[in-house]
Amino acid sequence: MTKTSFDLVVVGGGPGGYVAAIRAAQLGMSVALVERAELGGICLNWGCIPTKALLHSATVLRACREAAHYGVTGAGEARPDLAAMVARSRKVAGRLGQGVAHLMKKNGVTVFAASARLAGSGKLALDNGATLSAKHIVLATGARARELPALPVGERIWAYRQALVADTIPTSLLVVGAGAIGAEFASFYRAVGAEVTLIDMTPEILPQEDAEISQLARKAFEKQGIRVLTRCAVTASSTTADGVKVTLEHDGKKIEQTFDRVIVAAGIVGNVENLGLEKTRVNVEKTHIVTDGLCRTGEPGVYAIGDVAGAPWLAHKASHEAVLCVEAIAGLPVHAIDPLRIPACTYSYPQVASIGMTEARAREHATRHGGDIRVGKFTFAGNGKAIAMGEDQGLVKTVFDAKSGELLGAHIIHPEASELITGYGVAASLEATEEDLMHTVFAHPTLSETLHESVLAAFGRALHA
C-alpha cells in the first residue's frame, strides 16, 4: 500500500522542488514529491538545459566556420543540421530527467505523478483521487511564458517550447522580448542562418543589466547581423500564407512587416492556478506567491520557493531557496537570501553575467547615504588567454563602495561570462573587500585574470591597461 502521510510534501519537481525533496530526505524527514509532468521541471526539460545544448551546437558551428583563422582547414563549409541539433538537445534533457528520477529513488523520496491542490490544514488532494497529509507543504510550481493577445501562439508564432523543437530554420524571425530568453533564441537562430529582428519595449536590450553592458551587447548582436529595435512593441498580427504579418510601433511610428516565424519571449507568470489557495491565507500578488525571508506564506505549514515565489526567476535561486526553506523547517540556523548575491546569466553570443548593483543603482544608493563609488573596467583585449582563444572582445566592470571597499556589483560581457561571474559571487558571499581581491593570486594565463585587473582598475592600479 502506497504511503500517504509524510513529514514534508513538495508540489513541483523542478530545480526548486526536487532539491527541496533531497535536502529534506538528507535531514531525516519522510518526503513525497508531486509532479504533474516531467521531473526536472521546465528548466531541465524545456528551458535552461535544452537551450544551452542548442546554443553549444551554435558555438561548434561558429568555431567550424572560423576554423581557418586557427590554422584548421576543411571545416569552413560547415552547415547546420537543425534536426540533429534538436535531437541532441532533447537527448541531453532526457538524460538529466532520468538523473533526477534516480536521485529521488536514491534519497527515498516517494514520487506521485499527479497534480495537487491544498485541501485543508496539512492536506493535499491529488487529481488521481489520493489525499496526502504532511506537516509541511512546499509549493514549487514554477512559472510559464506570458501570452500576448496580439501574438497568439500557433504554427508560426512560437513560445519557447515550439522554438526548442523547430523542424525548420526560419528565413526571417522576429523575437519579441530582449531579456535573457529572447537574446538567447536570437543568438541561436542567427547562428544557424535566420535573418533575426530582436525587439523590446525598453530603451535597451537586456534591460535588467548595467546600461553600459547592455549597449555593448547590442553592438555585438548588430555586428552579427541581428536587427535590434528598442522602444518597440507589437500592436497587431495576422497569419498569412507567407508568414506572420506584424504591425510594430517603434518610436511613435508604425512598421508593417511579414516574418516567417515569431518567437514570443515577453516574460513569465507564476503557476498559482488550481492550487486551492482561495480558502487559505496564502497571498498572491501579480501571479506570484508572497513569502517572507524563510519562504513561509501566510498559511501556517505552507511554503513557496522558486519562480512561483517571484523574482529573480532563476533556477539557482530556486535551488538555494529550497535548501534554505527546508533547513529552516528543520530548525537549522539559516539566513534569508540576498537578491544582490544571486548571479544572473544570459547565454547569448556573447554571454552576459552580473551580480549585485548596476553602476547607476550603486551611484544612487551611495548618493542617498552621502557616499561615493569607484568603478573599474578591464577589456579582454588586454588578456593573454582571451587573445590566444580569439575571444578578445568584451568587458569586466566592477563597482565598489569608495569608503569601505565593499563590492557592490560586477558585470561581464564575454563568451565565457557565465563561468567567470561565480568568482565575484564567492567574493560577495565572503564579504571580501577590494583589498582581499587585489591580494588574491589569479592563475596565468586565464580569463579570470580580467576579474583581478578590473578590481585593480577601480583603484587606479591596473597593470595591463
Which positions are catalytic?
A: 444
Q: How far apart are CA 36 and CA 196, in angstroms?
A: 35
Cis ω for the linkage preceding 415 (within 30 of 0): no
* Closest listed residue to residue 292, CA positions, set 339, 323, 336: 336
Task: Work out whether strand 302-304 and strand 123-126 pair parallel, antiparallel, or are unpaired.
Answer: unpaired
Return the amino acid letter for 363: R
Q: How far apart are CA 391 and CA 63, in angstroms?
A: 11
* Closest listed residue to residue 416, CA positions, set 454, 448, 443: 448
Q: How far is CA 171 from the centre of its chain?
A: 27
Bridge partners of 239? 244
φ/ψ of 343, rounded to 5, equals -70, 145
Q: How far apart are CA 284 and CA 298, in angstroms?
A: 10
Grid look-up 487559505 returns 280
Q: How far apart are CA 276 and CA 189, in angstroms?
A: 40
Under a CB-based contact definition with an 8 Å cutoff, are residues 295 and 306 in contact?
Answer: no
